[in-house]
Amino acid sequence: MASMDRRQVNEVGPSGAHVAANLRRLRGVRGLSTSQLSKLLSDHGRPIQQSGITRMEKGDRKIDVDDLVALAVVLGVNPNALLLPPVADQTSTEVTVAGEVSSWRAWRWADGQEPLKHPYDDDDFADFQMHARPKGKRRYQMLGERSNEELVKRREGVEEIGRRLYPDDPQAQAAHVESERRRDPEPWREA
C-alpha cells in the first residue's frame, strides 16, 4: 500500500491547537480549575468531564462545534476568541487549510470584514460580504437591499466624514468620497 500524506482522523489541526491554547489561557484568566469549568459546563447543559477538559487543553481531544460554543459561552467570549490567537497584528498564524497568514488578516476574516484570500478583488469581496454575514450585518449592503433614504443617508454620511477629516482640503475630501464610492457604488447611482 502506498504511503499517504494525510492527517489521521483524530489528529488535532492548527485551529484545534489554537483552541487548546486559548482554552488553557482563558480558563486561567477566569481563575477556573478544570473541575470548576467542568461544573459550569454541566450547569449549562453541556457536561464535559474534568479529564476531558485537560485532554482538550493538551490537544489530545478534539473539540466539536457544540463544545466550542459552550466553552465560549461559559468563558464569556465569542467562539473566535477560542479559534484564533489572542493578538491581531502581523504575527504569523496558521489557519486550517489556508496555511500561514497574519493574525490580523485571520481576525478580519473571522469577523466577517474581508476574505482570507489575499490578494482579493472586488468580486471576491462582494461574494464574501454576501455570504459571510446576514443582511443588516454586512459592512456593505448588496444592491437592492437599501431604501432610497438609506442610500441618501450613506452618501451624505460619507461626504460629511470627508469634510470633517479634511476640512481645508477639497481634493482630499473628493478622494475620500471616491474611495468610498468605489467600495460601495450604489449610493452614487442615479435613481
* Burial of 6: CB neighbours in 10 Å, binned 0-12, 13-18, 19+: exposed
pLDDT at 182: 86
CA distance 141 to 162: 21
- Report the predicted TM-score, pTM, of the whole model to 2 decimal places: 0.70
Domain locations in the chain?
14-83, 92-132, 148-188
| pLDDT < 50 regions, the chain | 1-4, 191
Beta carbons of 116 and 106 less than 8 angstroms apart: yes
State pLDDT tens for residues 146-167.
Answer: 788 888 999 999 999 999 999 9
Architecture of domain 14-83: Orthogonal Bundle (1.10)
Radius of gyration in angstroms for the set of CA atoms belonging to the chain, rounded to a whole number: 22
Beta carbons of 106 and 95 less than 8 angstroms apart: yes
